């Protein structure tokens, strides 16, 4: 055997081994990633939930995810003007429907926000109690994954809701108020919110333990 051939052979083996190592390492990484996704640490899941909760209970989200018989508005969550009310399906009442004013897009020149299918979240998805106190992280979490309450959404469904539901997406494009000022936005970006939801779902939607109410 010539020296060249043994060099080629050695290179080939080295390359093969390198590839094998790389593949092994990759698969370990992937395994780790998958493991992390499928079996993330509970702490990660709960941390992710904290992020989700921070958005859900952001004041202007509670404006529609409300316990009251009427929507609220503004960062200070005052009662929506003109006596608009929930109505039997969360869409107002005849003569005074949500869509009497709210169209499919924001109307910045007149200060009215809009998104397709403007209406209130069902009472089962309220994030405050009847004394106008924001529900605890545990309570909101439990409600969110309760299919009897969330209109039958499974985990992918929840993720999709956070990703695509026009009224949810609207929160990050809330438009201008009648006085021309910009409405505030939730504490995370939409991508961060979706990402946190994804991590929470991947962790098996863990919920924090209840604590006695303050």
Partner 1 sequence: MTTYQLSVNGERREVDVDSSTPLLWVLREELKITGTKYGCGISACGACTVHLDGVATRSCVVPVSLIGNRPIVTIEGIGKDPVGRAVQDAWVEKDVVQCGYCQSGQIMTAVALLKDKPRPTDANIEESMGGNLCRCGTYVRIREAIKSASAQLN
Partner 2 sequence: MRELLKAASDRALSRRRFLRVSATAAGGLLVSLYVDLPAFAQEGTEAPPQKIFPPDAFVHIRPDGQILITVNRLEFGQGVHTSLPMILADEMDADWSQVVAELAPAADVYKDPIFGFQFVGGSGSIAHSFQQYRELGAKTRAMLVATAADRWHVTPDQCRTANSVVYGPGNQSARYAELAADAGRKPVPDKVRLKEPSEFRLIGKRVRRLDSRAKCDGSQKFGLDLDLPGMKIALIARPPVFGGRVRSFTDKEARSIAGVRDVFEIPLVKGTAVAVVADKFWAAKQARDRLKIDWDLSGIEHADSSQLLSRYKELARTTGNIAVSTGDQKAMDAIAAPNRMVAEYEFPYLAHAAMEPLNTTIRFDGDRAEAWVGSQFQTFDQMAIAEVLGLKPEQVTFHTEMTGGGFGRRAVADSHVQREAAVIAKRLRGTPVKLVWTREDDIQGGYYRPMHVHRVEIGIGQDGMPAAWRHVIVGQSILAGTPFAAMVVKNGVDGTAVEGTADTHYNIPNFHVSAHHPIVNVPVLWWRSVGNTHTAFVMETLIDELATRARIDPIVYRRKLLKADAGKLRRALDLMDEKSAAWRTKLPPGHAFGISCHEAFDTGVACAVDVSIENKRPKIHRVTIALDPGVAVNPLTIESQFQAGVAFGVSQLVAKGAITLKDGRVEQRNFDGYTPPYIVDAPVTVDVHIVPSTEAPTGCGEPPVPVISPAVVNALARLTGKRYRSLPLLTI
Summarize as ranges the residues that interact with partner 2 (CB under 8 A). Answer: 81-83, 109, 178-180
Gyration radius from the chain CA atoms: 25
Evaluate whether 150 touches 143 at the Cβ level (below 8 Å). yes
CA-CA distance, 40 to 203, in Å (whole number)?
5
Packed helices 190-202 and 42-56: angle between N→C axes, nearest 10 degrees: 140
Taking the C-alpha atoms of residue 192 and residue 199, their distance in angstroms, rounded to an integer, is 10
C-beta closer to partner 2: residue 87 or 204: 87
Q: Which is nearer to partner 2, 166 or 178 (CB)?
A: 178
Identify which range of 43-51, 75-83, 130-138, 199-207 contacts partner 1 by CB under 8 A.
Answer: 75-83
* CB distance 56 to 121 below 8 Å: no
| From candidates 114, 140, 202, 205, binder to partner 1 by CB under 8 A | 114
Query: What's the min distance (Å) between Cβ of 47 and partner 1?
Result: 41
Quick one: what does residue 180 bind among partner 1, partner 2, none, with the CB cut-off 5 to 8 Å set by partner type? partner 2
Residue 78 phi, psi dihedral angles, 5° rounding:
-80, 165
Among 3, 94, 130, 148, binds partner 1 (CB under 8 A): 94
Q: Is 160 in the site for partner 1 (CB under 8 A)?
A: no
- Minimum CB separation of residue 61 from partner 1 in Å reads 22
């Amino acid at each position: 055997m010539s020296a060249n051939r043994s060099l080629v052979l050695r290179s080939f083996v080295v390359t093969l081994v390198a590839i094998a190592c790389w593949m092994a390492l990759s698969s370990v990484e992937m395994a780790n990633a998958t493991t992390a996704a499928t079996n993330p640490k509970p702490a990660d899941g709960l941390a992710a939930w904290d992020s989700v909760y921070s958005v859900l209970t952001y004041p202007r989200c509670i404006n529609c995810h409300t316990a009251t018989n009427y929507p609220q508005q503004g960062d200070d969550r005052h009662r929506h003007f003109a006596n608009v009310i929930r109505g039997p399906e969360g869409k107002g009442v005849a003569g005074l429907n949500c869509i009497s004013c709210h169209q499919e897009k924001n109307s910045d020149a007149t200060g009215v926000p809009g998104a397709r299918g403007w209406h209130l979240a069902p009472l089962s998805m309220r994030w405050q109690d009847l004394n106008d106190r924001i529900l605890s992280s545990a309570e909101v979490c439990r409600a969110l994954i309760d299919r009897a309450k969330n209109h039958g959404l499974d985990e992918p469904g929840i993720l999709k809701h956070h990703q695509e539901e026009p009224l949810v997406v609207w929160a990050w494009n809330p438009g201008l108020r009648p006085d021309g000022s910009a409405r505030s936005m939730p504490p995370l970006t939409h991508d961060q919110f979706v990402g946190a939801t994804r991590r929470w779902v991947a962790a098996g939607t863990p919920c924090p333990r209840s604590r006695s109410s303050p």
